[in-house]
Amino acid sequence: MRISELETPALLVDLDIMEANLARVAAYALEHGLRLRPHTKTHKIPALGRRQLEHDAIGLTVAKVGEAEVMVDSGVADLLVAYPVVGRTKLERLMEVAKKTRITVALDSLAVAQPLSDAARAAQVQVDVFVEVDAGMGRVGVAPADLVPLAKAVHNLPHLKLTGFNFYPGHIKAPDEIGLAALAKVSDIVSALIAEFRAADLPVDVVSGGSTPALYHSHRVKGLTEIRPGTYIFNDRNTAEAGGCGWEDCAATILTTVVSRRPGHIIVDGGSKTFSSDRTSGPGDPTFGLVREAPGSLFYKMNEEHGYIDLRQAARQDFAVGERVRILPNHICVAVNLHEHIYGIRGDQVVETWKVAARGKLQ
């Protein structure tokens, strides 16, 4: 099928670019002796998890039990749930997954670890655990001074196997001077923690970190053993703006149709239910994506099913109703989650159709 035969809006993935992204990160990880455990929240598709495993990933990452249930279909042998799993029935479901594949849970409190231990005992399985440290982001994770006490307590719980610690350096937005200085601080925290774990005779086989914006600087964190990038498979406008990838590395675009026009403006058939309402991460820029066919245009407003594009400063202004434009979204992870299917393309051909199987798996 040709791209022109797709109904819109449709999320397209350029497979040549995607495959280059997978290969580039695999090569980087190999070069620096880092194990690669991609976060699948970006694509939510088992077939793409399998592609990541074929590109030297040692395992995969998910955020939710519902995603884990879907992602086992990738054939993954080592699955990290990088989220504190809370709730009795959710833990029961996770134990069913743990009977199929090795599971690690990242957590930051005994209030999460104790019920996990209980659930693992009831199901007669073992669950690996990372204890999570806040390396500066202020989200999940204990303060560095509290990590070893937590690790000790978890280490003593039956049916859990502490294997190390993890962090998410989400406060590092770009590989610029500020970002690299923050990364150096993260490295200091990590080095100190590894020493503390060893002094306390705690296992620290795994130190798991990494995110997409500063991905290619992950080796600067001394002692890091694995990285968990997500966005890199597709990349997006925010990643390119931050310098975390090149513009030519952006594999995903959203194909839309012009449905209405007036002087200097067009309306396309995608809004916040197609792109998400995520703005650019850059300050002061309120736009929602880049229109490939109209450089200089501004995607300045959205409603649920309408995208407003101002063409007055654009290279082209003569778009007709029915014409199609491809838009690079700000944040691909939330956009994919809005689509039932995404389409793999080569040139003008649609060569793959994937169901976004873990779309909306919130629980």
Q: Which is nearer to its own copies, 34 or 63 (CB)?
A: 63
329 C-beta neighbours (distance < 10 Å), count:
28
Binding to its own copies in span 2-21, by CB under 8 A: 5, 7-10
Interface residue with its own copies, options 19, 170, 216, 225 (CB under 8 A): 170
Shortest reach from residue 339's CB to its own copies, in Å: 6
Shortest reach from residue 347's CB to its own copies, in Å: 21
Shortest reach from residue 242's CB to its own copies, in Å: 16
Shortest reach from residue 326's CB to its own copies, in Å: 15
| Interaction of residue 242 with its own copies, rule CB under 8 A | no
Phi, psi dihedrals of residue 146, rounded to the nearest 5°: -100, 0
**Distance between CA atoms of residues 232 and 143, nearest Å:** 28
Strands 324-329 and 349-355: unpaired
| Interaction of residue 243 with its own copies, rule CB under 8 A | no
Nearest to 322 by CA among 3, 10, 8, 1: 8
| Interaction of residue 112 with its own copies, rule CB under 8 A | yes
Q: Which is nearer to its own copies, 34 or 297 (CB)?
A: 297
Shortest reach from residue 213's CB to its own copies, in Å: 14
Interface residue with its own copies, options 177, 318, 320, 348 (CB under 8 A): 320
Maximum Cα interatomic distance, the chain, rounded to a whole number of Å: 71
Binding to its own copies in span 135-164, by CB under 8 A: 138-143
CA distances from 142 to 139, 168, 173, 188 (A): 9, 12, 21, 16
HEC letters along the chain: CEHHHCCCCEEEEEHHHHHHHHHHHHHHHHHCCCEECCEHHHCCCHHHHHHHHHCCECCEEECCHHHHHHHHHHCCCEEEECCCCCCHHHHHHHHHHHCCCEEEEEECCHHHHHHHHHHHHHHCCCEEEEEEECCCCCCCCECHHHHHHHHHHHHCCCCEEEEEEECCCCCCCCCCHHHHHHHHHHHHHHHHHHHHHHHCCCCCCEEEECCCCCHHHHHHCCCCCEECCCHHHCCCHHHHHCCCCCHHHCCEEEEEEEEEEECCEEEECCCHHHHCCCCCCCCCCCCCEEECCCCCCEEEEECCCCEEEECCCCCCCCCCCCCEEEEEECCHHHHHCCCCEEEEEECCEEEEEEECCCCCCCC
Binding to its own copies in span 207-236, by CB under 8 A: none
Spell out, one character per residue from 66 to 95, where the chain touches its own copies: x when CB under 8 A holds, - when not: -----------------xx-xx-xx-----
Interface residue with its own copies, options 95, 147, 333, 345 (CB under 8 A): 333
Shortest reach from residue 356's CB to its own copies, in Å: 8
Interface residue with its own copies, options 192, 305, 350, 355 (CB under 8 A): 305
Q: Which is nearer to its own copies, 190 or 309 (CB)?
A: 309
Interface residue with its own copies, options 103, 116, 338, 342 (CB under 8 A): 338
Shortest reach from residue 308's CB to its own copies, in Å: 7
Size of site (CB under 8 A) for its own copies: 62
Interacting span for its own copies (CB under 8 A) from 23-31, 134-142, 191-199, 240-248: 134-142
Q: Which is nearer to its own copies, 7 or 177 (CB)?
A: 7
| Interaction of residue 318 with its own copies, rule CB under 8 A | no
| Interaction of residue 355 with its own copies, rule CB under 8 A | no
Chain residues binding its own copies by CB under 8 A are 5, 7-10, 41, 63-64, 83-84, 86-87, 89-90, 108-109, 111-112, 134, 138-143, 170, 257-262, 265, 267, 269-270, 272-274, 276-279, 303-306, 308, 320-322, 333-334, 337-340, 359-363
